[in-house]
Chains A and B, each alone.
Chain A
Amino acid sequence: MTPSNKASLSRRSFLKTSALASGGMLIGFNLFNACKPEAKVPLDISKLNFNDFNAFIKISDEGIVTIFSPNPEIGQGVKTSMPMIIAEELDVAWKDVHVEQAALDTKNFKRQLAGGSQSVRLGWKALRQTGATAKQMLVSAAAARWGVDVSECSVKEGIISNSKGETLGYGDVVNEAATLEVPEDVNLKEPKDFKIIGKGKRNVDIDKIITGKPLFGLDYKEEGMLYASVLRPPAFGQILESFDASQAKAMQGVVDVITIGEKARHYLENHLEEDKYNGWTAQMSPSNKVVVLAKSTWDAIKGKKAIKAVWKQDSELESTEMHDKVLLDLLNGNKFETKRKDGNIKSAFAKADKVIERIYESPFLPHNTMEPMNFFASVTPDKVRLIGPVQTPEPAANVVSKMLGRDIDQVSVEMTRMGGGFGRRLYGDFVYEAAEISNSIQKPVKMVSTREDDMTMGVYRPAIKYKIAASIKDGEITGYHLKEAAVNVNMYGLIPHFFPAGAIKNYQVDTANYKSNITTGAWRAPYTNFLASAEQSFFDELAEELGVDRVQLHMDLLEQVKNNPEPNIKYSPERLQGVLKLVVDKSNWGKAASGVYQGLSVYYCHNTHVAEVADIIIENGTPVVQKVTCAVDCGILVNPLGALNQVKGGVIDGIGHAMYSDFGFNKGVPQSNNFNTYQLIRMAQTPKVDVHFVESDIDPTGLGEPTLPPVGGAVANAIYKATGKRLTKQPFMDNLNAKKSIAV
């Protein structure tokens, strides 16, 4: 695979330019689909039209470039990396580039969503071509002014020069450039000529973050806005029967107490089925909820505590014990759906010298974004304005329009910076609540959650168990059978084609699920966040059983894939071997100091290949992860600084949840609701993460998720070496009888 440097997309498919009334040039582009033929770039910058374009670049006549960044920022760095890609091809100095989060209209725009680590991967070509097109138009304008050929001109950091040594800034020619035809073909740079891509660029919001400027949803305010605290059923399976708000209403700061739920039910009953967005909306609760409206957050929280509510059971009140039993029964039963089948598992197992079988278990997990769920809504007879942190603005607007019976044109969504996402903000339940509240009182309102609300109104990672079995014959793995039992929804369709698919002749993936009333959804690296840990522990056992080196086993299996190419797999055996070699080299694999135990894990997901080695020591009888060496192949590195943050964060997040975090239910009630009972990893527990990227000129892939899944396996394998104990159930610490660590 070598990158082409001729842009292949037709210009008309996604890009238009115009001269701005106020001077300068505006380029509208749509990364992910074609603009309509009649689409026009607005002349007035305040009227940016996201119906046809999902992002804009403005080049002012001072030569300053403003990029209205199209994708939501949840901490994964796209607000920096995507504009970097444009700026690279446009050939401007990064310091002359300003990035603004685009406010959104909601009709017809595509993939304005943060999820699946896909923003950079999908935008790569289009972003480059956008920058290159603008550059070419600016150069053409300068060449025309000078009366020279374009080939005599060159550009450096926004300054165009010709062979006579004359120079013009972008700002000098931008008004002429804006009137030119958009060129059909443009040249893209060779990766070796990149000046911005591949050079670390700081988070574009860094100054605001370190000085505490308003940025996040919770910081957003409007004149006359009320704060709303929502009382939801304490247990999954309960609904509101009655309540007494007299005490709350008597409180000074409390403005009113209302109930909501009718609009949500209207949507669920009339629109859910037909709605193409219902994947993001199933989290809507049909129960009535009590809402305390107050003049400040604290008044709202206090008012809510004073509500006396009576709840009644509506469906089953489930408990962790029951989930454990149901999932194990599923694994041991025969109600599976087969997701991939190669060869014949049955006969491989029948002929085997030995069959190894293990069960791996993981709990529910809340997302616990640092910024709890919140949203602003202002509903008036002619407009519905929604502002706040949501990863899926398009579905949110759509659902709200249907809930409230409004035309989609009346609904607008603006995204703020988000204090973390991890998948939670894909689901718009908090947007719908805010909209229904504001609709009911016809005033601007901010729905705020406490941590307790946030942790108990979750869209959790579902509890999942795996049973993995392998057959061994004559020192070879002849069969591999993966069974998944999950709460609510099973693994997505790509996963059965990840490693070891293609590497083992007889291979089968089966899934089964149990439908629960507990709301579940995507959580950073869905499914693989635990599956990788399970499989990579299992391979460690297999290597031991076969008496071969762990690295060698993987190298050999991948070699087999290379020799018998299997079109229907999703990973590249070469790239997996590449990260494996790199991690072995950098981690001192097999040569650790005495008292240091190493565990290995290698995995592909989200289009990125990763290998990790965890070094642990035993301190006071407890395993301590000292260091993780991480080798990553994500193609071209757009922003090494941001990439490092993502990789290290993913690794430490993965260790934290594999080791410490647990979440259960008793009669429908979540058993933790704040950080005194739910443990998140803290600094004293963190290892140093040593990161190495494979050098590559293949198009870039995402980094928000793929370093998290393998690390649980690396840690489990290292703990096995230190203690002789195979950890198959997360969180590991619960099975090592270690103390919880919470703040003092």
Chain B
Amino acid sequence: MPTFTLKINNEKHTVEADADTPLLWVLRDKINLVGTKFGCGIGQCGACTIHVDGSAMRSCLLQVSQAEEMDITTIEGLSEKGDHPVQQAWKDIDVPQCGYCQAGQIMTASAFLNETPNPSREDIRHAMNGNICRCASYNSIEEAVKVAAEKLS
């Protein structure tokens, strides 16, 4: 199997994997960063969302061979102490139910707020539409994104 060198959360990792392995499984199985979740494997649910060079990406659709040279951030690297304003807002509002989708929601929200500092309700609902929450914590997610936007501004 070929090896790849990845830059994840500001650390270099060298992994052995088939070139077509989705980054999601490299993160979870090889680097032991299991915060990034598997939900669908086809880019539909957003559970696997990470940041690539600051933008939200679906790690299930990104092959490890494409990920070299990229600056990758996972939920584990979003903030040092778990206190990114989006994480704080998630805590203020007590968003999670089962919690499984929430890392992906937080990663989508944090990238979105970076690009859109003062979002309208419609902006938020549009930006978060690719992330499914099966527990339907959508009201709380929407509110938390709003709170996070206020914290960031």
For A684-711 the 0/1 string (1 means CB < 8 A from B) is 1010110000000000000000000000
A687, closest chain B residue (CB): B139
The answer on a CB contact under 8 Å between A683 and B138 is yes
Q: Does B151 touch A at the CB level, under 8 Å?
A: no
- B112: CB under 8 A from chain A? no
Complex A-B: 11 CB contacts under 8 Å: A75-B96, A75-B135, A212-B75, A218-B37, A370-B133, A451-B40, A451-B41, A645-B135, A646-B97, A682-B129, A686-B139
Interface centre among B74, B78, B97, B140 (most CB of A within 10 A): B97
Bound complex: CA of A646 vs CA of B136, how far in Å? 9
Residues from chain B with a CB closer than 8 A to the CB of A642 are 94
Known: A684-B125, A744-B130. A212 touches B36 (CB 8 A): yes
Interface size on A, residues (CB 8 A): 68
Choose, from A495-503, A508-516, A647-655, A662-670, the stretch at the interface.
A647-655
Chain A residues near B99: list those with CB within 8 A.
Answer: 75, 203, 205, 209, 215-216, 417, 419
What is the CB-to-nearest-CB distance from A213 to chain B, in angstroms, rounded to a whole number? 7
Interface contact A420-B135, CB-CB below 8 Å: yes
Q: How far is the CA of A645 from the CA of B142 in the complex (A)?
A: 13
User: What are the interface flags for B17-61 relative to A under an 8 Å C-beta threshold, 1 for contact and 0 otherwise?
Assistant: 110011001001110111111111111111100000000000000
Is B17 a contact of A296 with CB atoms below 8 Å? Answer: yes
Chain B positions within 8 Å of A320 at CB level = none
Query: Among A648, A684, A744, which residue has its beta carbon within 8 angstroms of that of B137?
Result: A648
Question: Known contacts being A212-B76, A298-B21, A370-B101, is A641 close to B94, with CB within 8 Å?
Answer: yes
How far apart sit A75 and B102, CA to CA, in the bound complex (Å)?
A: 12
Give Cα distance in the complex from A368 to B45, angstroms.
Answer: 12
Residue in A200, A207, A297 whose beta carbon sits within 8 Å of that of B28 in the complex: A297
Write the nearest CB–CB distance from B149 to chain A, whole angstroms: 15
CA distance A214 to B103 in the complex (A): 12
Among A45-53, A557-565, A582-590, A673-681, the stretch that binds chain B is A673-681
Question: Is B129 touching A212 in the complex (CB atoms < 8 A)?
Answer: no
Quick check: A211 and B137 within 8 Å, CB to CB?
Answer: no
CB distance from A142 to the nearest CB of B (A): 35
B42/A370 in contact, CB under 8 A: no
Closest to B142 in A: A683
Separation in Å of the B142 CB from the closest CB of chain A?
A: 7
Q: Cβ of A77 and Cβ of B35 under 8 Å apart? A: no
Asked if A372 is an interface residue, CB under 8 A from chain B, the answer is yes
Bound-state CA distance A252–B21 (Å) is 13
Contact check, B132 vs A370: say whether CB atoms are below 8 A apart. Answer: yes
Q: Which residues of A contact B28 (CB under 8 A)?
A: 218-219, 297
Closest B residue by C-beta to A75: B98
Verify A253–B18 contact, CB threshold 8 A.
Answer: yes
Query: In the complex, A656→B46 CA distance in Å?
Result: 18
In the complex, whether A180 has a CB less than 8 A from a CB of chain B is no
The residue from B37, B76, B97, B140 contacting A211, defined by CB atoms under 8 A apart: B76
A371 interfacial by beta-carbon distance below 8 Å: yes
Smallest beta-carbon distance A345→chain B, Å: 39
A181-234, CB < 8 A from B:
200, 202-203, 205-207, 209-216, 218-219, 221, 227
CA distance A206 to B36 in the complex (A): 16
